[in-house]
């Protein structure tokens, strides 16, 4: 088609523009326009209850940054992101190394492991809510019947345990995703280097540290970037398990945006929090992607 | 050159069409919806509504949440069938969960999708009314019809500044329900009437069976603030004064929060319990008391209690008072029907409302789901008048008050503040004094 267009007198640049135009239009319609619109809304007092709204300048930003609970939300978000990225990453790596040994049944185990990732987030949320339920949860049943606890604990009703419970549920959901990527990465580790290291007397830990990790640096950074971004955006599990409670202990930025927009009907303020959230997301992405680029 | 121009123009048109398609989706949805022929409503999810029903009548869209619930799905189907049979019109049900209903009504309205009539509760009513979406029913149905059909007190719930936006459907109060079998086992043949008796009763139940939650007052989600309000009133406090100023930062509120803390410390109440949890645990015999509306009995049945046994394990009671002679507190509860300003089928929607409150349909709804009828004629039916369960709710309704946030645009925000601060106090992260002071401060900022 390119040669046909060139024969009709179009330059390479003009052909290029024509080719990217549909994609650019889709990008503008479904990403750029809503994004710019959200930023513009953050400077208004737009509410779902009123069709009319006015520009209020930086008022929403001042309100958000002067709200002492917003700082707590930021900290909760960061804790959730760190926990929900590093825990499944670590467990996924261990599991990938085990499955990479190629023992009988490892392929079946790999398939079974992926089931967690296929289940919808809300279903996982309800599943773990039942496990952690303070009244009829299976965790309390096990701990009290084995004598480890005298009485049941409201795991999702305590500020010091609720976030951990949500992180555990998220880790369970995402472990297969990390495992799949890391298993692929492990397959690419040069075996001759591993054997050479062993000949030189390296033990398992040294092989892992000095051969496997450097070989997988790019893929590790990539999945950590993607995992961080995914967890920064994540909404389903904290919402279905705790709705951000108790006492805001699991209120992340995604939940704050949702409740501000659809409980308080304050679209302007929700857009403000969303914009701050997007900036944070952009910063994380930039830093990590720069590292990936540098490592190449 | 000409061909090149055509190619570029075509590409630009395609791009513009993509953008335009995205921008006008709301309008298009409405037009498409109006053009489609209505299917018979099945009660599951959204179905396209058309201007004209298969029989030649009009086709209206009815939205809400009860038709999605297991306990009332079948009877909603029968209600709609009655309407079809009586009027020749068709009706399409669009449903969500209760928690999503206000948001979905707003979004659907602003998106220009067909919406003629909706089921709302008092909180949702306030939200959609403030958004200016509702039609004045005095104009649609006539003031005379409204006044002849309903008591003024029920009309008042849906009346704002003299305009009748709400059509009463089922009204009572949120009071307390209890399990008589558990109380009897704990040595209580009569329900406690004062706080002192109530606490003793909770202690006896806890001593009898530590696995039972004596009182499943809500300590999470929106229902937490709803349960807190009547207890605050019981202690003599309030969220707002008559002039609208925030008055929650008071010794009465501190006393109330301390009472909550004390009950949690003694194991009489539990964290991480919402209305849904309370209903399930109550049906399993693991809760002695909890707060609920008149539909508690139906909820117990849908959660596993045999219909013939429900009277033995679910009875209503008045909320205990602080001092003998005080008025038992409860909050007004009710379902109303609203008709939308944007509806092109207001008359047909009004016919559905009339069908739903007709004696036969209302009585069936009452007998099957415990929803009390509100029309003057249905309230006089023997089956309604002689029901002992309903009579307790009726006594409670006589002094019931609207939630103090009921007429506020940011009711949900205020309730979140109350819930969060109460949780801080219950979890020991703030003292009762600090939590109440912060509650007041945040409510002031939210005004």
Chain segment B181-201, per-residue pLDDT in tens: 999 999 999 999 999 999 999
**Do both A16 and A129 map to the same domain?**
no
**Do both A34 and A114 map to the same domain?**
no
**Do both A177 and A251 map to the same domain?**
yes
Q: To which H or E segment does residue B118 belong?
A: strand B117-121
Domain annotation covers residue A32:
yes
**Do both A83 and A179 map to the same domain?**
yes
CA–CA distances in Å: residue B273 to residues A138, A158, A237, A254:
17, 12, 18, 24
**Do both A22 and A94 map to the same domain?**
no
CA B108 to chain CA centroid, Å, is: 19
Which chain B residues have a beta carbon less than 8 Å from that of A151?
A: 210
Domain annotation covers residue A27:
yes
> Under a CB-based contact definition with an 8 Å cutoff, are residues B295 and B371 in contact?
yes
Q: Can you tell me the distance from the alpha carbon of B288 to that of B185, in angstroms, rounded to the nearest whole number?
A: 11
> Under a CB-based contact definition with an 8 Å cutoff, are residues B30 and B86 in contact?
no
Domain annotation covers residue A153:
yes
CA–CA distances in Å: residue B371 to residues B25, B335, B355, B389:
39, 9, 15, 11
Contact assignment for B12 to A21 by CB distance below 8 Å: yes
Domain annotation covers residue A48:
no
Domain annotation covers residue A244:
yes
CA–CA distances in Å: residue B261 to residues B266, B287, B422:
9, 19, 9
Chain segment B231-241, per-residue pLDDT in tens: 999 999 999 99
Q: Which residue has the higher pLDDT, B390 or B237?
A: B237
β-pairing, B117-121 with B59-64?
parallel
Place of tokens 């104009």: B139
Domain annotation covers residue A50:
no
Chain segment B373-388, per-residue pLDDT in tens: 889 898 888 888 888 7
Interchain CB contacts (distance < 8 Å): A and B = 112
The domains found in chain B, sorted by start residue, are 40-172+333-391 (3.40.190.10), 173-332+407-446 (3.40.190.10)
CA distance A160 to chain B (A): 10
Contact assignment for A22 to B14 by CB distance below 8 Å: yes
**Do both A17 and A144 map to the same domain?**
no
User: Across residues B242-266, what is the average pLDDT?
Assistant: 96
Domain annotation covers residue A53:
no
The number of folded domains in chain A is 2
> Under a CB-based contact definition with an 8 Å cutoff, are residues B59 and B49 in contact?
yes
Is A48 at the interface with chain B, CB within 8 A? yes
pLDDT at A296: 61
Q: Can you tell me the distance from the alpha carbon of A149 to that of B97, in angstroms, rounded to the nearest whole number?
A: 36
pLDDT at B32: 34
Which chain B residues have a beta carbon less than 8 Å from that of A48?
A: 103, 106-107, 110, 131
pLDDT at B130: 87
Is the confidence metric ipTM above 0.90 for this complex? no
The helix/strand/coil state of B339 is strand
Query: Mapped to the 3 state alphabet, what secondary structure does chain A carry?
Result: CHHHHHHCCCCHHHHHHHHHHHHHHHHHHHHHHHHHHHHHHCCECCECCECCCCECCCHHHHHHHHCHHHHHHHHHHHHHHHHHHHHHHHHHHHHHHHHCCCCCCHHHHHHHHCHHHHCCHHHHHHHHHHHHCCCCCHHHHHHHHCCCCCCCCCHHHCHHHHHHHHHHHHHHHHHHHHHHHHHHHHHCCCHHHHHHHHHCCCCHHHHHHHHHHHHCHHHHHHHHHHHHHHHHHCCHHHHHHHCCCCCCCCCCHHHHHHHHHHCCCEHHHHHHHHHHHHHHHHHHHHHHHHHHHHHC
Joined together, the tokens standing for residue B49 give 């509504």
> Under a CB-based contact definition with an 8 Å cutoff, are residues A145 and A182 in contact?
no
- pLDDT band of residue B15 (cuts 50, 70, 90) is very low
Q: Can you tell me the distance from the alpha carbon of A194 to that of A192, in angstroms, rounded to the nearest whole number?
A: 5
Domain annotation covers residue A146:
yes
Contact assignment for B423 to A245 by CB distance below 8 Å: yes
**Do both A174 and A94 map to the same domain?**
yes
**Do both A172 and A255 map to the same domain?**
yes
- Looking at the DSSP bridge assignments, the partners of residue B201 are none
Q: Can you tell me the distance from the alpha carbon of A209 to that of A220, in angstroms, rounded to the nearest whole number?
A: 13
Nearest to A135 among B4, B281, B420 (CB): B281
Q: Cβ of B169: how many Cβ atoms within 10 Å?
A: 26
pLDDT (tens, 9 = 90+) of chain A, 296 residues, equals 556 666 677 888 888 889 999 999 999 999 899 999 999 999 999 988 887 889 999 999 999 999 889 999 999 999 999 999 999 999 999 999 999 988 888 888 888 888 888 899 999 999 999 999 988 899 999 999 999 988 889 999 999 999 999 999 999 999 999 999 999 999 889 889 989 999 988 898 999 999 999 999 889 988 998 899 899 999 999 999 999 989 999 999 999 999 999 888 899 999 999 999 999 888 877 877 776 677 66
pLDDT reading at B33 higher than 50 = no
CA–CA distances in Å: residue B31 to residues A205, B24, B36, B62:
66, 11, 9, 18
> Under a CB-based contact definition with an 8 Å cutoff, are residues B190 and B348 in contact?
no
pLDDT at B18: 32
**Chain B 416-435, residues with CB within 8 Å of chain A CB atoms:** 416, 419-420, 423-424, 427, 429
**Do both A36 and A93 map to the same domain?**
no
Q: Can you tell me the distance from the alpha carbon of B383 to that of B366, in angstroms, rounded to the nearest whole number?
A: 9
CA distance B323 to chain A (A): 32
Contact assignment for A18 to B220 by CB distance below 8 Å: no
Q: Structural domain of residue A28, as residue ranges? A: 1-41
pLDDT at B7: 42
Backbone angles phi, psi at B174, to 5 degrees: -95, 110
Which CATH number belongs to the domain containing residue A145 in this structure? 1.10.3720.10
Q: To which H or E segment does residue B443 belong?
A: helix B432-446
Q: Can you tell me the distance from the alpha carbon of B370 to that of B315, in angstroms, rounded to the nearest whole number?
A: 12
pLDDT reading at B260 higher than 80 = yes
Name the percent of chain B lying above pLDDT 90.
61
**Do both A26 and A84 map to the same domain?**
no
**Do both A184 and A84 map to the same domain?**
yes
pLDDT at A227: 93
**Do both A202 and A255 map to the same domain?**
yes
CA distance B224 to chain A (A): 11
| Average model confidence (pLDDT) across chain B | 85
pLDDT reading at B43 higher than 60 = no
């Amino acid at each position: 088609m390119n040669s046909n267009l060139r024969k009709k007198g179009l330059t390479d640049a003009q052909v290029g523009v024509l080719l990217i135009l549909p994609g650019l239009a889709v990008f503008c319609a479904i990403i750029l326009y809503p994004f710019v619109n959200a930023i513009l809304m953050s400077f208004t007092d737009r509410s779902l209850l009123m069709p009319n709204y006015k520009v209020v300048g930086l008022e929403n930003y001042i309100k958000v940054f002067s709200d002492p609970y917003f700082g707590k939300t930021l900290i909760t978000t960061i804790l959730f992101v760190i926990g929900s990225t590093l825990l499944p990453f670590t467990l996924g790596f261990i599991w990938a190394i085990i499955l990479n040994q190629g023992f009988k049944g490892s392929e079946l185990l790999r398939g079974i492991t992926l089931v967690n990732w296929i289940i919808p987030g809300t279903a996982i949320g309800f599943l773990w809510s039942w496990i952690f339920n303070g009244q009829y949860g299976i965790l309390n049943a096990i701990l009290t019947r084995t004598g480890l606890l005298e009485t049941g604990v409201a795991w999702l009703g305590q500020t010091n345990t609720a976030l951990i419970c949500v992180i555990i549920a998220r880790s369970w959901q995402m472990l297969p995703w990390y495992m799949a990527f890391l298993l692929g990465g492990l397959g690419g580790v040069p075996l001759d280097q591993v054997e050479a290291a062993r000949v030189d007397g390296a033990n398992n830990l040294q092989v892992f540290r000095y051969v496997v990790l450097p070989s997988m640096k790019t893929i590790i950074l990539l999945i950590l970037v993607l995992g961080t971004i995914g967890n920064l955006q994540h909404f389903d599990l904290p919402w279905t398990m705790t709705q951000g409670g108790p006492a805001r202990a699991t209120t992340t930025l995604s939940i704050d945006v949702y409740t501000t927009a659809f409980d308080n009907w304050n679209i302007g303020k929700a857009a403000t929090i969303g914009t701050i959230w997007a900036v944070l997301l952009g910063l994380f992405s930039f830093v990590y992607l720069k590292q990936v680029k540098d490592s190449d | 050159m000409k061909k090149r121009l055509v190619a570029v123009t075509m590409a630009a048109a395609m791009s513009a069409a993509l953008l335009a398609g995205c921008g006008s989706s709301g309008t298009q949805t409405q037009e498409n919806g109006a053009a489609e022929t209505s299917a018979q409503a099945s009660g599951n999810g959204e179905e396209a509504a058309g201007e004209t029903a298969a029989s030649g009548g009009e086709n209206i869209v009815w939205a809400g949440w009860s038709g999605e619930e297991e306990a009332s799905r079948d009877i909603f189907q029968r209600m709609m069938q009655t309407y079809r049979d009586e009027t020749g019109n068709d009706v399409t049900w669009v449903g969500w969960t209760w928690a999503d209903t206000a948001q979905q009504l707003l979004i659907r309205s602003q998106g220009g999708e067909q919406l003629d009539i909706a089921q709302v509760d008092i909180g949702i009513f306030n939200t959609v009314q403030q958004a200016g979406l509702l039609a004045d029913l005095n104009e649609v149905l006539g003031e005379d019809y409204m006044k002849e059909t309903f008591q003024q007190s029920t009309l008042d719930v849906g009346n704002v500044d003299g305009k009748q936006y709400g059509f009463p459907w089922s009204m009572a109060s949120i009071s307390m329900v209890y399990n008589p079998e558990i109380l009897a086992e704990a040595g209580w043949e009569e329900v406690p009437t004062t706080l002192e008796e109530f606490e003793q009763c909770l202690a006896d139940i806890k001593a009898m069976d530590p696995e039972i939650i004596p009182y499943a007052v809500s300590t999470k989600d929106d229902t937490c603030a709803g349960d807190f309000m009547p207890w605050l009133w019981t202690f003599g406090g309030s969220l707002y004064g008559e002039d609208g100023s925030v008055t929650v930062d008071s010794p009465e509120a501190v006393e109330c929060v301390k009472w909550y803390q004390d009950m949690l410390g003694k194991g009489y109440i539990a964290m991480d319990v919402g209305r849904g949890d309370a209903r399930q645990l109550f049906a399993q015999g693991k809760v002695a008391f909890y707060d609920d509306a008149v539909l508690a009995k139906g909820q117990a049945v849908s959660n596993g209690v045999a219909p013939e046994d429900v009277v033995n394990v679910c009875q209503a009671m008045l909320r205990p008072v602080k001092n003998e002679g005080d008025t038992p507190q409860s909050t007004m509860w009710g379902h109303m029907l609203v008709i939308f300003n944007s509806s092109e089928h207001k008359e047909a929607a009004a016919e559905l409302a009339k069908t739903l409150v007709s004696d036969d349909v209302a009585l069936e709804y009452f007998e099957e789901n415990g929803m009390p009828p509100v029309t003057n004629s249905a309230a006089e039916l023997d089956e309604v008048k002689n029901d002992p369960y309903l009579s307790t709710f009726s006594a409670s309704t006589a002094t019931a008050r609207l939630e103090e946030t009921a007429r506020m645009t940011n009711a949900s925000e205020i309730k979140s503040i109350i819930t969060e601060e109460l949780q801080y106090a219950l979890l020991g992260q703030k003292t009762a004094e600090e939590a109440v002071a912060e509650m007041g401060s945040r409510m002031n900022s939210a005004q």
